[in-house]
Amino acid sequence: MFFIIGDYFEVFTNKLPQLRKALYGIGIFIMLILCYLTFERTKVWESSFSLWADLLDKHPNIANIDKAYYGIANHYYKAENTEDPTMQKSYQDSAIKYFKGAIYKNPNNEKALNNLGNAYYQRQQYDSAYIYYNRLVTIKPNYTLGLQNMGNYYYVKGQFDTAIEYYNRILSNDPNYALTYYTLGLVYQSKSLTNTNIANRHSSTGDSNTANQLNMQAQIEMQKANEYFQKAARLGSPEAIKILSNK
Residue type for 113, please?
Answer: L
Residue type for 213, please?
Answer: Q
Model-level pTM greater than 0.85? Answer: no
SS3 of the chain: helix, strand, coil, percent, to 5 = 85, 0, 15
Residue 101 burial (10 A CB sphere; 0-12, 13-18, 19+): buried
Instruction: Centre a 10 Å sphere on the Cβ of residue 112 and count the other Cβ atoms it contains.
Output: 27
Domain boundary among 81, 109, 140: 140
Domain boundary among 79, 107, 140: 140
For residue 20, give its domain range: 1-45
Asked if residues 41 and 73 have their Cβ atoms less than 8 Å apart, the reply is no
pLDDT the model gives residue 44: 45
- If pLDDT is split at 50, 70 and 90, which confidence band does 13 have? low
pLDDT the model gives residue 83: 73
CA-closest candidate to residue 147, choices 161, 159, 160, 164: 164
Q: Which alpha helices (H) appear in 16-109, and where do they start and end?
A: 20-42, 48-58, 66-79, 85-105
CA distance 184 to 139: 24
Total tally of structural domains belonging to the chain = 3
Which residues in 38-63 are b (16+ Cβ under 10 Å) and which e? Answer: eeeeeeeeeeeeeebbebbeeeeeee
C-alpha distances (whole Å) from 134 to each of 111, 138, 155 are 13, 6, 15
Average model confidence (pLDDT) for the chain? 86
Q: What is the pLDDT of residues 93-130, one digit of tens each?
A: 999 999 999 999 999 999 999 999 999 999 999 999 99
CA distance 90 to 150: 26
Residues 40 and 51 in one domain: no
Q: Residue 225 falls within a domain, yes or no?
A: yes
Domain boundary among 90, 119, 140: 140
